[in-house]
Amino acid sequence: MEDSEKQFVHIHEQDNGEEKSQNSKGKPCKLAVDLVDNIVTRGTVLEIDATNPTIHGVPLGKGNERVVVDIVIDAKAFLPFPIKDDDIFTVGQTVGYVMAWPKHLVILTGVEIPRKRKHTVEKLPKAPDVDFHGMPKSLKILCRYAQNMIKMNGNCIVFDMEERVFGSPRPTHILNEDILQLGGMEKLSATCIVIYMRYLYTVLEELDMVGSVSFVDPAVISAPWCGTSFVRSRKLADRFKGAQNDQIFFIPYNSGDHWMLTIVYPVKETIYFVDSFYQSINESKVNGNMLWMSNAINIFNRQRNKQGRKSPLWKILMGAPSQPTNKECGYYVMRFMRDLILEDIQGVLAKWEGPMETTYLQEEIDEVRDEWAEFVSDKYL
């Protein structure tokens, strides 16, 4: 059995002296699988005083946390460290167990709480205050729902993203925090962007544009949580498979703390880049930082046995609306995609290649927030 398969023990089985001697205080957390936005359970991080921490005599492993699974959100989600010998593969099989979990997929959610060895009494969290002044009506209702769910320690909204939206299905979790981010005009998570893209897909269906406009899941290709540049290039090239001559792909991208948008014609080997904050960026810098995206088109060309350009054509859209502070990037990316779909795509791109425009009005951003909230309320509640 590999070490990663041994890093698992039921909390009721902590009977050896080593386990009893270790600090049993913990911090509440959310645990994700594969991507930081893919929350599958709520748990507790157990802090350990030992120099070389172990789980039931086995080294914890570098880059892992020692956690207890408390509340299951997605019972069918596969564990990061499956226990093959015991036929334990999914989150639903692990309630009350201590196990290792990759540190970068452990998201702390609150203040430190004491944890008893067998029974835990979890304090109900306090819902954060939200300023409802000027908020779209549909979003007010949704934020109140999220506040009530937090007070009740309720689970998030869970649904399966259909294959037709991003090319492959995946479970999607809308956390209460995601809703409150949108309500408070705070920086947005990938989930918030993804949900609005799902809404825009219904718009594409109504306009009969599904064959000409496609989406790429930002949770699959955004840095720094989606693998090496080569891995991201391969994933993007796979999404481009079967692309038609005039087919365009919208690719929201997060570099770590900032959202940008790329608009890609794979067959035409043309990439439009729009950044609502760093609009003075030059083409060479963009191409250098986004080389993995150029490589995706090169891989796409090789897959269809086509000799393309040495490097795709990059166009920097410096005339797109610019955000007033460093918080609105996610809202601007959503509005950019909306404008491109509802207006003439080529006309908008040509306009954004020209002189810099003004910022979006708050009313224009509120249109996006209202559509997001109405869509979630109508489809998933």
Of 91, 108, 125, the last residue of a domain is 108
Residue 55 resides in a domain: yes
Residue 121 resides in a domain: no
Q: Are residues 260 and 367 in the same domain?
A: yes
pLDDT of residue 287: 60
Q: Are residues 21 and 74 in the same domain?
A: yes
pLDDT of residue 113: 42
Residue 235 resides in a domain: yes
pLDDT of residue 273: 94
Q: Are residues 198 and 96 in the same domain?
A: no
Residue 53 resides in a domain: yes
Measuring CA to CA, how many Å separate 222 from each of 83, 179, 190, 252, 294? 30, 21, 9, 8, 15
Q: Are residues 104 and 165 in the same domain?
A: no
Residue 77 resides in a domain: yes
Q: Whole domain around residue 292: which residue ranges?
A: 137-380
Return the closest-CA partner of residue 71 out of 162, 158, 192: 158
Q: Are residues 231 and 94 in the same domain?
A: no
Q: Are residues 187 and 79 in the same domain?
A: no
Contacts of 296 (CB under 8 A, 6+ apart): 232, 233, 234, 236, 237, 240
Q: Are residues 34 and 174 in the same domain?
A: no
Residue 69 resides in a domain: yes
Q: The domain that contains 344 carries what CATH number?
A: 3.40.395.10
Residue 73 resides in a domain: yes
Q: Are residues 96 and 153 in the same domain?
A: no
| This model's pTM is above 0.85 | no
Q: Where are the alpha helices (DSSP H) in the chain?
A: 3-6, 17-21, 137-151, 163-166, 176-183, 190-206, 218-221, 229-240, 283-289, 291-303, 329-342, 345-352, 362-380
CB contact at 8 A, 33 and 82: no
What total of structural domains would you count in the chain? 2
Residue 239 resides in a domain: yes
**Beta pairing partners, 274:** 261
Q: Are residues 241 and 298 in the same domain?
A: yes
Of 69, 93, 108, the last residue of a domain is 108
Alpha carbons within 13 angstroms on the beta-carbon side of residue 104 total 10
Mean pLDDT per block of 10 residues along the chain (381 residues) reads 42 35 64 85 79 66 83 81 65 79 85 45 53 85 83 72 94 87 92 96 98 94 74 94 95 89 96 83 65 93 88 91 93 98 95 86 96 93 77
pLDDT of residue 120: 43
* Residue 50 DSSP class: -
Q: Are residues 146 and 45 in the same domain?
A: no
Q: What is the 3-state secondary structure of 326-380? A: CCCHHHHHHHHHHHHHHCCHHHHHHHHCCCCCCCCCHHHHHHHHHHHHHHHHHHH
Q: Are residues 142 and 64 in the same domain?
A: no
Of 89, 108, 127, the last residue of a domain is 108
Q: Are residues 84 and 160 in the same domain?
A: no
